Amino acid sequence: MSVRPTHEALLALFLLCSAGCAGEAADALVVFGLTTDMAVGFQFDHIETTTKVDGVVTGTERLSYGGGELSLPAELVVGPAPDGAEIELSIAAFRDGEASPIVTRRGATRAAGGRSLLLPISLDEACCATPCAASATCAAGACVEPFIAPSALTDHDPLWIASASDACKTPGSGDPAVVIGQGESAFASLEHGEVVPIEAGPQGGHHVWLALRVTGLRQMGSRLTVEGYFPEMEFELLPFTAQVTMHKAGEDRCEIDGVRFQVDRGLPVEAVRGQPLDIEVALEDPNGDVAMAAQRVVISP
């Protein structure tokens, strides 16, 4: 299971100014709304960004999933900049250990005095195998002009993130739902009342390996809560909570595997062997959407 430190939906705020803007009334901003339909941390691991104002590089940044710096969707803000200045963002997404990016994207516009413009820019899986000329960029599998006139852009509204495209929360994924399965490294189905093995953990205690199949929730930043209750002993286990990242497992669903849930916290392990255990899980994504599920298992004797 990939567990990340708590972080907000906004990835970073870059306040960059071109060399010629000192002393001028430069209150224009361009907010690049960065999204992807690929699974961050699985299909790519880090991005490298370059910002330019009127052709001059004003900043570069490397943001890594493993370092806890990369979470999408996100905002990258360039400005303040003088009215009419050309603002450009270039992004390259990499897998760890590979020198060539798996996908690149560029976006550009002109600063409009007094406005904060929102320029959507996506890293699309369909662009991974789509080469484009140097003057073009790839979007949704097609080569397009990277420049968009400011008159064609809307003003920035931070609520855009709530409806942004996502690797797991797609138009076809339907309402939030979760299915409880089992598995340390892959999802396997779990029947009601199925006998499940337990194993000793590295820091004491014994646990079962759970896996979850999820639809309708965002790939990153969902809060997972797992609870357990032994009905025959009338004993409630302490809940487990974590922030999780899912991986794609089909067109409209994602999965989490390797969820370790301790079953003998506060009990001797011999007392739980052969006992039925009612497991409940809840997943809440950064938008506030929630999926819940329950399953009964029997601890292996």
Alpha helices in the chain (DSSP H): 269-272
Lowest mean pLDDT among 7-16, 86-95, 257-266: 7-16
Which tokens in the block code for residue 115?
């406005």
Domain boundary (163, 191, 214) is at 163
Residue holding tokens 């609870």?
Answer: 227
Residues 144, 39 share a domain: yes
Cα separation, 101 vs 41, in Å, equals 14
pLDDT at 9 over 90: no
Residues 43, 131 share a domain: yes
pLDDT single digits (tens) 160-219: 998 898 999 987 788 999 999 999 999 999 999 999 999 998 888 999 999 999 999 999
Which of 254 and 21 is assigned the larger pLDDT? Answer: 254
Domain boundary (111, 137, 163) is at 163
Residues 184, 138 share a domain: no
Domain boundary (141, 163, 185) is at 163
Q: What is the CATH number of the domain that holds 81?
A: 2.60.40.10
Give the torsion sign (CA, 167, 254, 71, 29).
Answer: positive
Residues 91, 141 share a domain: yes
Which tokens in the block code for residue 95?
């897998």
DSSP 252: S
pTM: 0.81
pLDDT single digits (tens) 254-296: 999 999 999 999 999 999 999 999 999 999 999 999 999 999 9
pLDDT at 24 over 60: no
